[in-house]
Amino acid sequence: MIFFAGATLLVDQLTKVIVEHTFPEGEVRNVIPGFFSLVHVRNRGGAFGFLSGLNKDHLTLFFLGISVLALCVIFYLFKRMGAGKPWVAAALAMIFGGASGNLIDRLRFREVIDFLDFHVGPLHWPAFNVADSAISIGTVILLYHLVMKKI
């Protein structure tokens, strides 16, 4: 678990540092026109901007508390279910690493740096980051094993 969580955290934080130092907040760089752009946006809310309109101090405390609780639950689940189940262990490690990456952002900036931006014509998915991707992929793997393999 330590390797996957650490690798996820490292890639997440490294990509955010690159974005932060490469182009100013609000800038958009089209990589594949009409489909994929790199952007530099700050998200003080939850996933996809959830609750972002609320007071920044209250949001920071709320999401810090949720993040710490989530990390404790993930660690508990790993100890309980991860042994001998490499896919479950990897999924939990990805979720742990992603949650840690976003927690670090909240501690440093009181918001999260997002930069991956997908759109197809008028359809647009809110910007996200490597941590969000790891959390989503890890969750899908975990749900698959929960439903199909009966963890």
Residues with a catalytic annotation lie at 114, 132
- The angle at the Cα of 105, spanning 100 to 109, to the nearest 5 degrees, equals 155
88: exposed, middle or buried (C-beta count within 10 Å: 0-12, 13-18, 19+)? buried
**Please, what is the end-to-end C-alpha distance for the chain in angstroms?**
17
Q: Where are the alpha helices (DSSP H) in the chain?
A: 2-22, 56-77, 86-109, 130-144
Residue environment code for 35-69, b if the CB has 16+ CB neighbours within 10 A, otherwise e: eebbbbbbbbbeeeeeeeeeeeeebbebbeeebee
